[in-house]
Structure 1
C-alpha cells in the first residue's frame, strides 16, 4: 500500500476500509450524540469500549470521496439511535466492531473510529464539544479542549470541501 493510504479493519479482519490521502482532522468528540451512541453501542458490543475515560470518542475525519470498503461490504450494518439523527454508525456484524460514522445530511466527510486503524493512527489534535461534559476542567490538557469547534477544524473542513469541488 502506498504511503498516502491507510487501512481500517474490524477486529476479525473480514471488513476493511481503505483511505486515500491525508485525513482532514483527528479529534475526540464529547457531544451528547456521541456519548449516547457510545452507550448504546456498548450494550450491543460490550467487548469493545468506544468512549475514553473522559466520555470522548476518538475519530479521524476523512473525505468521503477518498474511502472505499474493500472487503466485507455486506457485513456492515448502520445504527441510528435517535429519531431524525443524521448519523449512521457503521458496525461490522461479523465481530461487532464499530468502524465509521456517515452522515445523511450530505456532509463531505466520514468519521472513522481511531482505534480501528491497522497502522499508527493520526495524532489527536483536539477535544471538541466539551460543553456537554459535567466537568470539562477534569480533561487532560493534551490535546487542547474546546467547548465547541476550534477554528482550525472549521478551516480544514472548508478547505477539504473546496478541494473536492475543484477536483483536488
Structure 2
C-alpha cells in the first residue's frame, strides 16, 4: 500500500465488462468471518469459473464505501443478486459475465461493502478483522490487526459517522438497480 491513497478506486469484474468507481476515503476496510459471508462466498465460488471470494483463511475482505461515492461506470445490466434466502437483509451482487462477486449491500444501508479482491491499484490496507468468533475451526489469526469477535465499536462508529456526514440519507448507487 502506498502512503497516500488515490482519489478514487476502480472495482472491476475479472473480464472487465463491469466496472465501478469509488471516490473519497473508504469508511473502513475489514475482513469478515461471519457464517453468512463464508456461506455466500463458498456459494459464489461454486458458480462456473468464478474467481475466489474467500481469503485463504476463510474471511472475506471488504472496503466499505458510502453509496453516494460509488457509481457503476460500465456493465450495470450484467449484475445479478445472490441472497442466502429470499428474506435475507443482504444481497451479494455478482457480474454474470464472469461470475465475479462485486459487492455486498445491506437493505436500507448507506454503504456498500466492495469485495477488496476486485479492486485494482493501490489498495487501502485492512484495518481490522470482524466476526472472528465464526471463523473456520482451526484458523489461527495473526495479531497484526485488531481481531474482534463481533463488529467492534470502532467499526460501528465509522458507519454511523459516515451516515451522519451523508445527512442520514440512503441513496441509490448510480448505474445499478436497487
TM-score w.r.t. length of structure 1: 0.91
- Structure 2 residue runs of 5 or longer lacking an equivalent are 1-5, 170-178
Question: Following the alignment from structure 1 to structure 2, what is the Cα–Cα distance between the partners of residues 127 and 18?
Answer: 25
CA contact (8 A) 1:27 1:127 kept: yes
Q: Report the equivalent of 1:157.
A: 159
- Paired residues, number: 164
- Quick one: which of 99, 103, 108 aligns to 2:106? 103
Distance across 2 between alignment mates of 1:45 and 1:144: 35
Give the equivalent residue in structure 2 for 1:39. 42
Q: Give the structure 1 partner of residue 16 of structure 2.
A: 13
Does the CA-based 8 Å contact 1:14-1:71 persist in structure 2?
yes
Q: Residues 64-143 of structure 1 correspond to what in structure 2 (within 5 A)? A: 64-104=67-107, 106-135=108-137, 138-143=140-145
* Structure 1 residues not aligned, in runs of 5+: none
**8 Å CA contact 1:45, 1:97 repeated in 2:** no
RMSD: 1.7
Cα deviation 1:94-132 (Å, max 9, x = unaligned): 11111111122x111000000111212210001100111
Contact 1:5 1:20 in 2 (8 A): yes
